[in-house]
Amino acid sequence: MIPRYSRPEMAAIWEPENKFRIWFQIEAHACDAQAKLGVIPQDAARAVWERGKWEINRIDEIERETKHDVIAFLTNLAEHVGEEARFVHQGMTSSDVLDTCLAVQLSQAADILIKDIDELLAALKKRAYEHKNTLCIGRSHGIHAEPTTFGLKLAGHYAEFARNRERMVVARREIATCAISGAVGTFANIDPRVEEYVSAKMGLEVEPVSTQVIPRDRHAAFFAALGVIASGLERLATEIRHMQRTEMREAEEYFSPGQKGSSAMPHKRNPVLTENITGLARIVRSAVIPAMENVALWHERDISHSSVERMIGPDATVTLDFAIARMSAVIEKLVVYEDMMKRNLDSLGGLVFSQRVLLGLTQAGMSREAAYSAVQRNAMRVWEEGADFLTELQADPEVVASISAEKLVSLFDLSYHTMNVDKIFDRVFSSN
Residue 390 · residue 379 · CB < 8 Å: no
What burial class does residue 264 get, using C-beta atoms within 10 Å of its C-beta: 0-12 exposed, 13-18 middle, 19+ buried?
A: exposed
Q: Catalytic: 431?
A: no
d(CA 278, CA 270): 14
| Catalytically annotated residue among 141, 263, 267, 431 | 141
- pLDDT > 90 fraction of the chain, expressed in percent and rounded: 95
Task: Report pLDDT for 431.
Answer: 73
* pTM of this structure: 0.95
Quote the crossing angle between the two packed helices 354-363 and 368-385, to the nearest 10°.
150
Q: How far apart are the C-alpha atoms of 141 and 280, rounded to whole Å?
A: 25
pLDDT above 80: residue 148: yes
107 part of the active site: no
The pLDDT assigned to 432 comes to: 62
Q: Across all residues in the chain, what is the average pLDDT?
A: 96
Query: What pLDDT is recorded for position 402?
Result: 94
Asked if pLDDT for residue 195 goes beyond 90, the answer is: yes
pLDDT of residue 127: 98
pLDDT tens, position by position, 20-31: 999 999 999 999
Q: How many CB atoms lie within 10 A of CB 309?
A: 23
- For residue range 258-273, what is the model confidence (pLDDT) as tens digits? 888 888 888 889 999 9
Across the range 339-357, mean pLDDT stands at 96
- Catalytic member of 262, 307, 347, 373: 262
The reported pLDDT for the residue numbered 266 is 87
**Hey, what domains does the chain have and what are their CATH numbers?**
12-90 (1.10.275.10), 93-256+265-342 (1.20.200.10), 351-411 (1.10.40.30)
Per-residue pLDDT at 32: 98
